[in-house]
Amino acid sequence: MPSAPSSPSPDTWWRAAAIYQLYVRSFADGDGNGIGDLPGARAHLPYLAELGIDAIWFNPWYPSPMADAGYDIADYRSIDPVFGTLADADGLILEAHALGIKIIVDVVPNHASDRHPWFTAALAAGPGSAERARFWFRPGRGDDGSLPPNNWQSIFGGPAWTRVVEPDGSLGEWYLHLFAPEQPDFNWSSPDVRREFEDVLRFWFSRGVDGIRIDSAALLCKDPTLPDVSGSELPGPAHPFMDRDEVHSIYQSWRAIADSYAGRMLIGEVWLPDAARLARYVGPGELHTVFNFPYLNCPWDAASLRQVIDQTLALNAPLGGPATWVLSNHDVDRVVSRYGRPDTSFSLDRRAYFHSLPVDLALGTQRAKAAALLTMALPGSVYIYQGEELGLGEVQDIPDELRQDPIWARTHGADPGRDGSRVPLPWAGTEPPFGFSPAGASAEPWLPQPKEWRDLTVATESAHPGSMLRLYRDALRIRRSQPAFGDSPLTWQSSASGVLAFDRDECAPGGIVRCIANLSAGPVELPQDADVLLASGPVDDGLLPPDTSVWLRIA
Ligand code: GLC
């Protein structure tokens, strides 16, 4: 395979990598209990190698009571028995490396599980103790302390405070949880907390992982006076808990740790609407990259996408951090459903509205294919959420009694939550569990799979040249083998309204690769002196149909 002249060195493998997000509980079930696990994931590593990805990001695999699907961690240095053992993780890391695949693990530093030994010790130790200083315990307001210490609301709905029963049986202090009550927030002004997480980072780097995804990365630091919020605060130094300046000193020390191991990377989950503030998390001495949520949230509209792409590249270029491109993840609606709605934008706080819209799955799928080629042609790294390569849609009709996401329960059903993007993958066969669990499994998949997924299994799509899976495989193979797709900038080409056209690397020995994405209502004429490398749909008579993208080699 030819290597790009400007391709990243082994130490900066992440700069142009294709990274697969593996949501363990829904990827593959090895032991037949209806929940995905590490032996299941390991058995399917050859599938991922064939897909052509460079790295896997594992959602949390640690011991957890699963109040938030593993984002409530009780032990940061082990594996939940439902997923396997530490030996399984070691074996998986080794085998992935042997296949040329890097491993990224998820670390959740904003909060622990309420079963974490530090939190149970804090409950037992009582008010004013050193154990409680690692979290945010405060007396309540009102004469009898029966009102929460401030008016903060949980991101999952309801108050961000829960009152505890003290060791003597009386109602006592309250503790802060920006997410579910089972996820108490750490107090990052505690030196214990800082030391603990630096050690957790070293633990996983020493075990051979190549990167760490930092959960809720902008939320760690709180104003110690815990003031009420008025709702008008912008994320930033004056906000009581979002994007405060202190957070950067944490990531500076984490970066030093990552850099002390060769080739390790840190990627932050930073949900900020302001791209300039997002960029503050990236660069020398900060994180290597952050997820590009403005791109994910962007509607299927050429001018809006062009604006996000330009802004992303302009902000990243001086920082030396590569851009990342993300179409979906385990927290948002699946992309074929989003693009099949009359409103193709997305935001976490309007999920109920989006679910109320009609979905044209065929149109959404066509657009998602076009978006895949557009995304994979952009300079930087690309994240692919499991099932995206199969074109799975958001499952919006999960029966209420089977929903698991705490968002659903805490909003009393006002927000449908994220279960619809987390349904176990269909591998083969014509009925559930579609090869997700082995024959003779003792339980059904933990969320029900739609019967229509018989047409979207890995086995079915592998056999069909026009499938999403075949497109992803072809695109990832070409992206990896074409020198033009190395670590180089893009050059926009003039194009009609509603059309995005850009070239990658004029200096590459293989020549220029041009990506044209047609988001307009009519066909677009392709240049005559060009060979089609790959198209997201049929291209006849030199015309690129609407909602279709193409990669061309320009003579
Ligand atoms: C992040 C995760 C999400 C989780 C939340 C709390 O946003 O992606 O799944 O629920 O943090 O840890």
DSSP string, 371-418: HHHHHHHSSSEEEEETTGGGTPPP-----GGG---HHHHHTTTSS--S
Strand order in the sheet with 512-518: 490-492, 499-504, 512-518, 548-554, 530-535
Give yes or no for residue 66 CB within 6 A of ligand 1: no
* Residue 30 · residue 435 · CB < 8 Å: no
Strand 55-58 relative to strand 137-138, pairing = unpaired
Q: Which residue has the tokens 């061309």?
A: 552
Taking residue 71's Cβ as centre, other Cβ atoms within 10 Å add up to 24
- Contact between 288 and 14 (Cβ < 8 Å): yes
CA angle 465, 18, 86 (to 5 degrees): 110
Grouping H, G, I as helix, E, B as strand and the rest as coil, residue 538 is: coil
Whether ligand 1 lies within 6 angstroms of the CB of 68 is answered as yes
The side-by-side arrangement of strands in the sheet containing 137-138 is 137-138, 171-176, 161-165
The kind and range of the H/E element at 553 are: strand 548-554
- 269 in catalytic set: yes
Q: Report the C-alpha gap between 265 and 14 in whole angstroms.
A: 7
* Closest ligand 1 atom, residue 406 Cα: 10
Say whether pTM exceeds 0.95. Answer: yes
- Pocket of ligand 1 contains residue 449 by CB under 6 Å: no
pLDDT in tens, 68-118: 999 999 999 999 999 999 999 999 999 999 999 999 999 999 999 999 999
- 291 in contact with ligand 1, CB cutoff 6 A: no
No. of helices (H) and no. of strands (E), the chain:
15, 18
Q: Is-contact 134 192, C-beta < 8 A? A: yes
Note if 215 is an active site residue.
yes
Nearest CA to ligand 1 atom 3: 331
Cα separation, 111 vs 119, in Å, equals 10
Question: Is there a cis peptide before residue 545, judged by omega within 30 degrees of 0?
Answer: no
Instruction: Please compute Rg for the chain using Cα positions.
Output: 24
What letters, b where the CB count within 10 A reaches 16 and e where it falls short, cover 475-489? bbebbbebbbbbbbe
Ligand 1 centroid to Cα of residue 373, in Å, is 28
Interval 8-57: pLDDT, tens: 577 899 999 999 999 999 999 999 999 999 999 999 999 999 999 999 99
Please state, in angstroms and as integers, the Cα–Cα distance from residue 400 to each residue in 59, 404, 416, 433, 437, following that order.
Answer: 24, 9, 9, 20, 23
In the reported structure, the alpha carbon of residue 270 is separated from the centroid of ligand 1 by a whole-number distance in angstroms of 11
CB 374 within 8 A of CB 515: yes
Cβ of residue 485 lying under 6 Å from some atom of ligand 1 = no
Sign of CA dihedral 10, 11, 12, 17: positive
Q: Which of 177, 214, 330, 331 to mutate to test the pocket of ligand 1 (most atoms within 8 A of CB)?
A: 331
Distance 409 CA to ligand 1 centre (A): 16
Burial 300-329 (b: 16+ CB within 10 A, else e): bebebbbebbebbbebbeeeebbbbbbbbb
Q: What is the pLDDT along the chain (555 residues), one digit of tens a residue?
A: 333 334 557 789 999 999 999 999 999 999 999 999 999 999 999 999 999 999 999 999 999 999 999 999 999 999 999 999 999 999 999 999 999 999 999 999 999 999 999 999 999 999 999 999 999 999 999 999 999 999 999 999 999 999 999 999 999 999 999 999 999 999 999 999 999 999 999 999 999 999 999 999 999 999 999 999 998 999 999 999 999 999 999 999 999 999 999 999 999 999 987 888 888 999 999 999 999 999 999 999 999 999 999 999 999 888 887 899 999 999 999 999 999 999 999 999 999 999 999 999 999 999 999 999 999 999 999 999 999 999 999 999 999 999 999 999 999 999 999 999 999 999 999 999 999 999 999 999 999 999 999 999 999 999 999 999 999 999 999 999 988 887 788 999 999 999 999 999 867 677 789 999 999 999 999 999 899 999 999 999 999 999 999 999 987
Q: What is each CA distance from 425 to 23, 408, 455, in whole angstroms?
A: 10, 22, 12
Ligand 1 proximity of 174 Cβ (cutoff 6 Å): no
CB-based contacts of 452, cutoff 8 Å, min separation 6: none
Question: 345 CA to middle of ligand 1, Å?
Answer: 20
Strands (E), 223-340: 265-268, 289-290, 324-326
Query: Which of 245, 297, 253 has its CA nearest to residue 271?
Result: 297
465/487 Cα distance (integer angstroms): 29
Query: Taking every pair of C-alpha atoms in the chain, what is the biggest distance, in angstroms?
Result: 82
- pLDDT given at position 307: 97
Angstrom distance (rounded) from CA 243 to CA 270: 9
Atom nearest to 330 CA in ligand 1? 9
Distance CA 81, CA 91 (A): 15
Kindly list the distances between the CA atom of residue 393 and the CA atoms of 22, 37, 361, in Å, as whole numbers in the listed order.
17, 23, 8
Euclidean distance between CA atoms 42 and 48, whole angstroms: 10
Residue 520, both tokens: 């307009």
In the 8-state DSSP scheme, what is residue 48? H
**Measured from the CB, is residue 331 less than 6 Å from ligand 1?**
yes
- Ligand 1 centroid to Cα of residue 62, in Å, is 14
Least Cα distance to 286 among 274, 278, 294 occurs for 278
CA distance 24 to 37: 6
Dump pLDDT digits (tens) for 347-398: 999 999 999 999 999 999 999 999 999 999 999 999 999 999 999 999 999 9
- 195 within 8 A of 154, measured Cβ to Cβ: no
Token pair 């992935």: residue? 96
